[in-house]
């Protein structure tokens, strides 16, 4: 499951320079042309670096800017990583190795920390006559910083997840308790009761050692209700569905 997303990037200085000659009369396309060799990154703390491969399967030449930030998606929060190279060009049908190096940090050692790897593609301005629109598109994927002392993997900890129903603002919510030190990213989530299954929209990602309340949207539950779920693994694939009971009192 591809967990990356394409979005029109914020106004960064390099983008403003590259898009100074934009003409706004051509049709807009929102598909990223460049691809990454993975959909998430796990950075083990006992390693000094890891890498990502940027591929250009298109027939166009691109400039690329890469950086790492936090969930806040700002340009001011410091992060303990440096990217080499942070800005490069990539010709058609070629690829570029981007190295992510760690810096000294004080990140928690009892749980994972979440960051995001960003890749912004900047197409060359065409020399063809006529009006045209060039858009800088961004791919953003999760980067999990994983302390070396954590035992096991996120998948091995799935049986420890606990599900219950809580009342909030006059409505029932599914509370997901994650006692593990890993981020758990759900790809499928459904509640079953009295022989009926109800798919829950927008499966969440639950932070380590925390709880997340997910809207049940009126799904009826009884004493024998269960939840069936799949999660995304370290390689971007997903697990076989698991079933756990739902506690109807909390």
Each residue of 16-44: pLDDT tens digit? 444 333 323 333 445 678 999 999 999 99
Q: What is the mean pLDDT of the chain?
A: 87
Give the pLDDT score at 31.
Answer: 63
Contact 215, 170 (CB under 8 A): no
Residue 249 has pLDDT above 90, yes or no: no
The 10s digit of each residue's pLDDT in 60-81 is 999 999 999 999 999 999 999 9
Encode pLDDT of 203-217 as tens digits.
999 999 999 999 988
DSSP state of 58: S
| In a shared domain, residues 13 and 115 | yes
Question: Please, is 114 exposed, middle or buried when counting C-beta atoms within 10 Å of its C-beta (0-12, 13-18, 19+)?
Answer: middle
Task: In whole angstroms, give the CA distance from residue 58 to residue 62.
Answer: 10
Can you list the positions of beta strands (E) in 85-231? Answer: 87-90, 94-102, 113-123, 137-146, 162-168, 171-178, 184-193, 196-199, 205-206, 210-215, 226-231
Domain shared by 142 and 159, yes or no: no
In this predicted model, what pLDDT tens digit does every residue of 103-129 receive, in sequence order?
A: 999 999 999 999 999 999 988 766 666
pTM of the model: 0.85
Q: Give the domain-ending residue among 146, 176, 204.
A: 146
How far apart are the C-alpha atoms of 63 and 119, rounded to whole Å? 10
Whether residues 59 and 25 share a domain: the answer is yes
Final residue before a domain boundary, out of 146, 163, 181: 146
Residue 197: give its domain's CATH number. 2.60.40.10
Q: What are the tens digits of pLDDT across the range 188-240?
A: 999 998 888 999 999 999 999 999 999 988 888 877 899 999 999 999 999 99
CA angle 195, 199, 201 (to 5 degrees): 160
């Amino acid at each position: 499951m591809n967990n990356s997303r394409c979005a029109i990037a914020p106004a960064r200085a390099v983008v403003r320079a590259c898009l100074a000659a934009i003409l706004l009369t051509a049709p807009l396309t929102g598909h990223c042309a460049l691809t990454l060799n993975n959909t998430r990154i796990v950075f083990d703390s006992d390693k000094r670096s890891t890498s990502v491969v940027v591929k250009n399967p298109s027939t166009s030449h691109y400039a690329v800017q890469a950086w790492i930030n936090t969930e806040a998606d700002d340009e001011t929060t410091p992060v303990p990583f440096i990217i080499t190279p942070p800005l490069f060009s990539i010709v058609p049908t070629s690829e570029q190795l981007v190295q992510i190096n760690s810096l000294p940090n004080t990140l928690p050692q009892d749980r994972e920390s979440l960051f995001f790897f960003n890749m912004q593609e900047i197409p060359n301005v065409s020399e063809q006559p006529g009006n045209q629109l060039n858009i800088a598109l961004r791919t953003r994927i999760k980067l999990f910083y994983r302390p070396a002392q954590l035992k096991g993997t996120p998948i091995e900890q799935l049986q420890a997840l606990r599900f219950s129903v809580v009342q909030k603002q006059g409505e029932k919510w599914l509370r997901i308790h994650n006692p593990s030190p890993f981020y758990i990213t759900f790809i499928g989530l459904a509640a079953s009761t009295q022989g009926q299954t109800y798919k829950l929209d927008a499966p969440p990602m639950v932070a380590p050692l925390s709880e997340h309340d997910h809207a049940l949207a009126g799904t009826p539950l009884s004493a024998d209700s269960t939840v069936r779920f799949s999660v995304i693994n370290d390689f971007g694939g997903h697990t076989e569905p698991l079933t756990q009971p739902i506690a109807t009192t909390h």
